[in-house]
Amino acid sequence: MSDVLEPVIPVPELVESVPRLSTHLFDVVTDTLRYPDGHAIERTVVEHPGAVAIVPVDQQGRWLLVRQYRHAARSVLLEVPAGTREAGEPPEVTAARELREETGFAADSVTALGGAWAAPGFANEYMHYFLATGLRHDPLPQDEDENIGDPVAMTFDEVLVAIDDGRIEDAKTIVAAMLWLRSQTGRE
């Protein structure tokens, strides 16, 4: 099989980065880039500290999902627990904290499943995915801007049906399903 990244395409040089907006969640910058042939372009980028998504699996083999209002989608989404990394915080520490905040459970084991760029066309947010097992009740308070109810337990087959019928529309949850399935079939 040929390498899908061949032939190598030119990578532009960062010439300038101009801050446009700074919030508690992310920053926005406009970058000027120059290709080796001299052609210059501008790209506006959302700079994000990164995030985690967790697949919590209970003792019965069910996933624990959460319902959360996502204002940008103007909808309550059914999704895997997830959250933004604090500055300098290792992803597995973020995963353990977010699991307790969003589901009320801690895990005896938190195992990396992989990662993916959330929206690389305009943001540098990289999401780390984890499998959490050995769950036990050990809640932390939710963030003040969250209103997450009790976790929803679903078998993996039920998760797939929910993706197929549109009850799960959240991209990180769909990616989590693929990464979890690959981990279960030995194709890591």
Percent helix, strand, coil in the chain, to 5, is 20, 40, 40
Active site residue 144: yes
End-to-end CA distance of the chain: 19
The one catalytic residue in 98, 144, 146, 188 is 144
Backbone angles phi, psi at 157, to 5 degrees: -60, -40
Sign of torsion over alpha carbons 81, 77, 164, 120: negative
What length is written for the chain? 188
Instruction: Point out the residues that are catalytic.
Output: 144
